[in-house]
Structure 1
Amino acid sequence: MDRSSLEELLTPVVSASDPTSYSVRVAVLPDGERPEADDWHAAEWKTIGGIPHASLLVGPDGVVELGPGAYRVWVEITAPPEKPVVASPRFSIN
């Protein structure tokens, strides 16, 4: 992804059941960091090819603006009584 690009960051979520009825939040952080309370942003669900994805607009004027570097996306799903948090593989911004 180029740092000047404004686009949807789609993170696939693999689950035994459809998670899209639950609320989802996303944190995008430099690789090696863990999310704190202020890092989370409300996200939306998008289903692509039958796979649910957490969606967040990133880039200039997006929810999150990223500089060059390596990042991970963290996804938190609120599915009472559970609240799973999962991290994506690393990706890079040029």
Structure 2
Amino acid sequence: MVIPASSTEYVHVPVTAPAGTDLSGSPVKIAVVAHGDNPSADEWMTAEWADGVARLLVGPDGGAVTLTRSTYRVWITFDPPGAENLVRLAGSLTIS
């Protein structure tokens, strides 16, 4: 995904839940990082569910974070019902 640095918009992360699992009540966080390591605790931002997709508003007009021109790694973590607490690398984001 490519977003201009001047744009404020949602970064969407599709999530496929196991059959019969409702994720809408599960807390979800997204991290957008420029380094190659796993996100640190302070890099996670509270996201929200919208139609089965996790999303985080980014950008200079009220986004959770304003990103400068670079390529970032997008991570997601959520805690579905049960024993698992999932952390996944979701993809990359280029800010132009």
- Which band: TM-score by shorter chain? 0.7 to 0.9
Give the secondary structure class of the aligned counterpart of 1:89.
strand
Q: How far did residue 33 of structure 1 move?
A: 3.1
Query: Are residues 1:43 and 2:44 paired?
Result: no
Partner of residue 69, structure 2: 68
Letter in 2 for 1:93: I
1:12-31 mapped onto 2 (5 Å cutoff): 12-17=14-19, 18-30=22-34
Q: Percent identity?
A: 37
Equivalent residue number for residue 82 of structure 1: 84
Match of 2:95 in 1: 93
- Structure 1 runs (4+) deviating above 3 angstroms are none
Unaligned runs of 5+ in 1: none
Gaps of 5+ in 2: none
Shift of 1:75: 0.7
Alpha-carbon RMSD = 1.5
* TM-score normalised to structure 1 length: 0.85
